[in-house]
Amino acid sequence: MARRFVSKFVLPLLKGGRLHVGRPVGWSAVARARAGGAPRGQDEARVMAEVARLRQACAAGLARDCEPPSLDESSLRLAAAAHNVLLLGHPEIARRPRDQERVAELAQELARLGPPPDLGEAVARYSLLVRWPEVVRVEHQLRVGPSWLRFELRAAGGSPGVAMRALARMSATTVTSRRRDWWREIGFPICAERAIEELFRACPLLEAMDPLRLHPPLSWRRILPVLRFPALGRVVAGRVLELGIESAGSALVMALLRFGSAGEADAAPDSAQEIAFAIRFLAHVHWLHILFAGGRSLASGSDFATLLTAAADVDPRLLWPPDVVRSSGPGLEFTQTLQRLRAEPQAPERYRALRALCALAAASGGGGG
């Protein structure tokens, strides 16, 4: 089970292809895989080498001078948790809520690793799950007969069975196959929410690289630990620019509003310095936008633009790095952008809320530095 798990699940998760989702992977399977020792046979050695090579290729694109990620206990637990979350959509278990809850609880326990302690661990964990949001499921639907006497067969995630293949040969049969994005179109049951949150907490870069995701909502509390590593902060900022500064930036601003006002469900924000750091990170994204957007100006009316205006009104130090001269080209362009955004109409309630957030950040002394 343990060795098959690496070859049938971990390797396709990294490389692509058929991702086999079967019986739940528990603690015993993780322990057996951990204590498996040296690879048996040439095929197994080739699988392990391929896994290591793909993870190293991913890690090299994120940060320099990182240790090659190894398939250690935390990696195996993360992979097992990811497998069990995918298992919740399995056709055989999807109609059994009690079993779903048991598998979800197991996934939550496996993923409870806490935030990564250092840069290397953050990169190693992300290198394992980097393609997890790309997972798709192929669904076949077969219809026979007129509309008033319709016979339907469905197969989700896998090849159709013998009966379906036989019926599909009939001339009156309509066969529809479609590829559905597991993360965005299928989703996960509500009982898996805590498991997903634990996965995000253990691998914050996975969450930070997808700020436009709807559910569970983006959490600054979870992504702040990795943003404090400069290399990963640059990667996330680049991803925000790639997705679009108005849309992705506004999603981050809304998450920041939740973080600052409600404390994101379980706890209040630790300190206003965290909010100040988040605002400075968003300002950094805008500086990158000025330098590399090729003259495309920031559209007004977005929450991101409102945050910039509010921060400039409260304390410009939240937006201006100390080493940027205001009379320089980027500085002048930044000033012109702020003036233009101020002149545009804004949502008054949103502006007031973001202004209060910036005031909280500035009052803590987080405006400078």
**Interface ranges with other proteins (CB under 8 A):** 12-13, 15-24, 26-28, 53-54, 57, 86, 89-93, 99, 102-103, 105-106, 109, 131-132, 134-138, 156-158, 179, 182, 184-185, 187-190, 193, 214-215, 251, 254, 292, 294-295, 327-330
Q: Which residue lies nearer to other proteins by CB, 172 or 214?
A: 214
Q: Which residue lies nearer to other proteins by CB, 75 or 100?
A: 100
Report, in Å, the least distance between residue 65 CB and other proteins.
Answer: 19
Q: Which residue lies nearer to other proteins by CB, 131 or 165?
A: 131
Which residues lie across from 154 on neighbouring strands? 141
Report, in Å, the least distance between residue 27 CB and other proteins.
Answer: 5
For helices 245-261 and 230-243, angle between their N-to-C axes, nearest 10 degrees: 120
Q: Which residue lies nearer to other proteins by CB, 321 or 330?
A: 330
**Do 338 and 331 touch, CB atoms closer than 8 A?**
no
Looking only at the bridges linking them, the beta strands covering 136-144 and 151-156 are antiparallel
Report, in Å, the least distance between residue 215 CB and other proteins.
Answer: 4
Around Cβ 150, how many Cβ atoms within 10 Å? 10
Question: How far is it, in rounded angstroms, from Cα 24 to Cα 2?
Answer: 11
Q: Which residue lies nearer to other proteins by CB, 63 or 135?
A: 135
Report, in Å, the least distance between residue 228 CB and other proteins.
Answer: 25
Report, in Å, the least distance between residue 54 CB and other proteins.
Answer: 7
Report, in Å, the least distance between residue 42 CB and other proteins.
Answer: 20
Question: How far is it, in rounded angstroms, from Cα 111 to Cα 210?
Answer: 19
Q: Which residue lies nearer to other proteins by CB, 21 or 338?
A: 21
Q: Which residue lies nearer to other proteins by CB, 207 or 315?
A: 207
Q: Which residue lies nearer to other proteins by CB, 87 or 272?
A: 87
Burial 286-320 (b: 16+ CB within 10 A, else e): bbbbbeeeeeeebebebbbbbbbbbbbebbbbbbb
CA angle, residues 119, 30, 28, in degrees to nearest 5: 150
Stated as kind and residue range, the H or E segment containing 232 is helix 230-243
Question: How far is it, in rounded angstroms, from Cα 66 to Cα 124?
Answer: 9
Q: Name residues whose C-beta falls within 8 Å of residue 242's C-beta, 6 or more positions apart in sequence.
A: none
Taking the alpha carbons at both ends of the chain, their separation in whole angstroms is 53
Radius of gyration of the chain from its Cα atoms, rounded to whole angstroms: 24
Report, in Å, the least distance between residue 131 CB and other proteins.
Answer: 5
Report, in Å, the least distance between residue 182 CB and other proteins.
Answer: 7
Overall size of the chain counted in residues: 369
